[in-house]
Chain A
């Protein structure tokens, strides 16, 4: 039947059942609660699988405790869900293995990530943990952009990185804490070196 010949039916739009939007409740490790739409959750592969496996109804969402996300604090989770809500319904990029990736940071994301470095690293960690591909891409790009034109000393400060000496000292301290004899052994080794022996044995 052609389109022209098809019978015209008056549709009462009010009679069409409107599918209710489903929201889920999540709780951060510092007991902050968030309500997140089903569509926004799809940006996170981890959460999407989790809610699919739980098979909650709207009533379950209200009656059961909020889903706990133990590893992420409220401040970070708020940013994560703001990002997911803003980008809900968008296609999730597929990794084609190209290096370097061509990633542009949209205005909304740039504003969202206008935060101190500690929080930004937490956001990256959360994006990785929750498997939110595009959030991970833009946040990593933001961190890479922060390195542009910096000296090694500036990079240490920007990325909160310890120097080799600090790294060694931390390792030594950890080793000593674990084994009190480690320092003695090291001193013995240094002494032997001073005496001209190149080998410990």
Chain B
């Protein structure tokens, strides 16, 4: 911009500020007058307010003595940084070393983080914002979608699309960016969701390369996360992630499509230290005892076999922490209960089967469906029911004398 142009712009700005035209309106007027949007709005805003407050000197002494963001006490900087969206925080990290050292300090990241890998693109989701790394149509791009709130609390959508300069695969770029904050040993995350989409994934070895890169990233710094879910049909996925999570930090784990490796997963310290879990399906051969160290768990598809019900009955009293569980079985599925292999097709049949097996224990009362826990003021309430297209068996530890209401079984 030439000196004459700048002077002209300043005169326009001064005029609008003197007339107290709202800043954005003044900016739009100037852009319209110039016929382009070449002027940076942030610069414009700063100059405008200097004029607005009666200061027409652009390099005034007042500016030298004024406070800047860096002059604020470190506690205040931390308050501001904690008020930022995670995306903005990660961008602020890039501004200077001193800010990076504050941002990288101990922190509990409450934002929910989504990590999504598809065939031609991958995404990092941070609350309302997304970064999408794409290799579609032979074009390597990354797209940042932010949804900031304006001053009235309304959500705007801003999309910025740029080419990726480094000639690497979309997932390589994504994992590299992910490592800048996921591998921060000072950060503990609230929720991380890994979604590995197998649709259109033509080359299975790519998945292995992705998992190898993720595993290498996590090997450098163990992950501190409270709640985590992993959705992948690739049996090795969970074993590439879960062993690198600090065991005590992880309280809740949700597994989807991970059946074949379940026995191996449950030998991990990370599984043994969990408080609650969701598993979408367990194989018939899988031993149900692996769940009863948990306070709460839910299984979306499990076959109610005689052997399984007997094991549940016998382990209930041995588990000191167990508080509640929900087991579901699709009605179409053949649900074996007795030794003759007869299928259950109605809720009544399920109740009879549960009462028969549980009733073999002296502490079980088939009328109330309660197990008294010896030397305790608690009992287990056993509740078989039907929900849409599933049978459900819910078990809950309850204080004696408390009402049992079906709805008291909270879902995960």
Contact = CB atoms under 8 A, between A and B. Distances in A.
Contacts of B40: 154, 157
Contacts of A140: 76, 79-80, 83
Interface in A123-163: 124-125, 128, 136-137, 140-141, 143-145, 147-152, 154-163
A118 B68 contact: yes
A101 B83 contact: yes
Interface string A55-90: 000000000000000000000000000000000000
Interface of B: 40, 42-43, 46, 49-50, 52-53, 62-63, 66-73, 75-76, 79-85, 88, 91-92, 94-99, 108, 110, 146, 148-149, 151, 158
A139 to B, nearest CB: 9
Contacts of B151: 105, 110, 145
Contact of A121 (B72, B82, B85, B92): B72
A193 B71 CA distance: 35
B158 A160 contact: no
A143 B73 contact: no
A114 to B, nearest CB: 8
Contact of B96 (A105, A151, A163): A163
A122 interface: yes
Contacts of B99: 161
Interface of A: 99-101, 103, 105, 110, 115-119, 121-122, 124-125, 128, 136-137, 140-141, 143-145, 147-152, 154-164, 167
Contact of B67 (A118, A137, A163): A118
A182 to B, nearest CB: 20
B92 A147 contact: yes
Contact of A144 (B68, B80, B158): B80
Given A110-B151, A148-B149, 19 more contacts: A100-B83, A100-B110, A115-B49, A119-B53, A121-B68, A121-B69, A124-B67, A125-B67, A128-B75, A128-B76, A148-B88, A148-B146, A149-B146, A150-B42, A152-B91, A152-B92, A159-B95, A161-B69, A161-B99
A167 B96 contact: yes
Nearest to B22: A114
A170 to B, nearest CB: 11
Nearest to B108: A99
Contacts of A105: 151
Contacts of A124: 67, 72, 76
Contacts of B71: 121, 125
A125 B72 contact: yes
Contacts of B95: 152, 155-156, 159, 161, 163
A128 B74 CA distance: 11
A161 B79 contact: no
A137 B79 CA distance: 8
Contact of A159 (B43, B68, B110): B68
Given A101-B82, A116-B49, A143 B110 contact: no
Contact of B85 (A141, A148, A151): A148
B88 A122 contact: no
Contacts of B83: 100-101, 103, 140-141, 143-145
B70 A155 contact: no
A134 to B, nearest CB: 12
